[in-house]
Amino acid sequence: MLSDLPRDLAEDVLIRIPVTSMRAVRFVCKSWNALSKDESFTKKRLTQAKAAASTEFLAVMVINDRVYLISVNLQGIHNHVEPSINHLGKLVSLTNSDGDDISVVYHCDGLLLCITEDPHRFVVWNPYCGQTLWFEPISRPNWGNYAIGYENSKSCRSYKVLGLIESSGYVRYELYYINSKSPSDMTIPITIFPDWDIEFYARGVSLKGNTYWFAQENGVGDDGTEIGDQDFLICFDFTKERYGPRLSLPFHSIMDDTVTLSSVRDEQLAVLFQQVDTLHLEIWITTKIEPEAVSWSNKVFLAVEMEPLDDYPFEVTSGSFFVDEEKKIAVVFDVERRKQMGYFAYIIGEDGYFKKIDIIDPSEECFFPRMCSYVPLSTYV
């Protein structure tokens, strides 16, 4: 009987099973269910997963209303070895929630914030531990945007979810406390009147527990239409529970240019900028990034003339990316730009290196597709 296996042998078996199959493992027998949730075993799995992440990039994305784990392997890319992108499978440990369709997913420190199609609730999920915590927004069920972050304390990290909505010059937001024993523990809504705008499709990037967005100056032209004269970064500081000042960018964008953010090892921020008219693409990486201060490398990480390679700009609403600093490679995930069908990975490097890989079956749906990097770091919340 499987339940009679010695613990060390059972651990040896379970630790080889991918996280996408762990829910099935928990139904095998009571002892395997208990072992899969044991804190010491979970730490071993996380250590193993973190080691694997050093050789391949892991990402999560929403396909057909479910969260999928994807791996990207760039090993040997400069030695004529083709890069590979693999679907590792669907993450299915959302307990008793098979009927909940997921629309958006955010990542922070191994935790996934999943926004459901049902506007009256969302879930914070640790796939490696199989833990979930459901929230029901009380004051406003239709927040326009979300973010997840944490505050470091002496004893632990206090994780928090930010729900916010922008409308007609104001931002209204509230916080939910993940570590709290009560899912109803939240701040009262706060309204501010900033001099900046964050577009509805712009998703923040979590970095060292805080979330950063690309923003533009809130201004009105002579004809009454909104204009953005300046562009910059805005950070929500989860420790101080407030927005920080404007943070400068190493370029200036105009309307319809593509600007999107990514984290680098949860230590630096990378920004992709592509001009809509020339298709010139640049990626910049910070040397220092904090909620109230930023500095950029004196040299652009990657600069590519995209027009000879692909004659459409990346979508402002769906493009997302990550970089491999060692290999000087960027991988951009985006829709097929000509027909707006299909979802591809565009692998871009120096000296004209360019690969386009189809990563979604035509039968699958991926509306406003965005991937986010995933590194399993957290254990329990």
CA 157 to chain centroid, in Å, comes to 19
- 3-class state of residue 45 by DSSP: helix
379 found inside a domain:
no
352 found inside a domain:
yes
pLDDT in tens, 105-114: 899 988 999 8
The CA-CA-CA angle for residues 10, 11, 15, to 5°, reads 120
2 found inside a domain:
no
Is the sign of the CA dihedral 143, 146, 148, 149 positive or negative?
A: negative
Record the pTM.
Answer: 0.83
pLDDT in tens, 25-53: 665 666 666 666 666 666 666 666 655 55
pLDDT in tens, 54-89: 567 888 888 777 888 888 888 878 777 788 888 777
4 found inside a domain:
no
Q: Tell me the residue ranges of DSSP E strands in 110-169.
A: 111-116, 122-126, 131-135, 145-152, 157-167
Identify the CATH number of the domain in which residue 281 sits: 2.120.10
- Rounded Cα distance, 86 and 89, in Å: 9
Burial 163-201 (b: 16+ CB within 10 A, else e): bbbbeeeebbbbbbbbbeeeeeebeeeeeeebebbbbee
pLDDT for the residue 342: 72
Q: At what angle do helices 7-14 and 39-53 cross, to 10 degrees?
A: 30
Query: Total domain count for the chain?
Result: 1
30 found inside a domain:
no
166 found inside a domain:
yes
pLDDT in tens, 121-175: 888 888 777 778 888 776 665 667 899 999 987 777 889 999 888 777 888 888 9
253 found inside a domain:
yes
15 found inside a domain:
no
Domain, as residue range, for 135: 37-373
| Of the candidates 160, 121, 125, the residue with the CA atom closest to the CA atom of residue 142 | 121
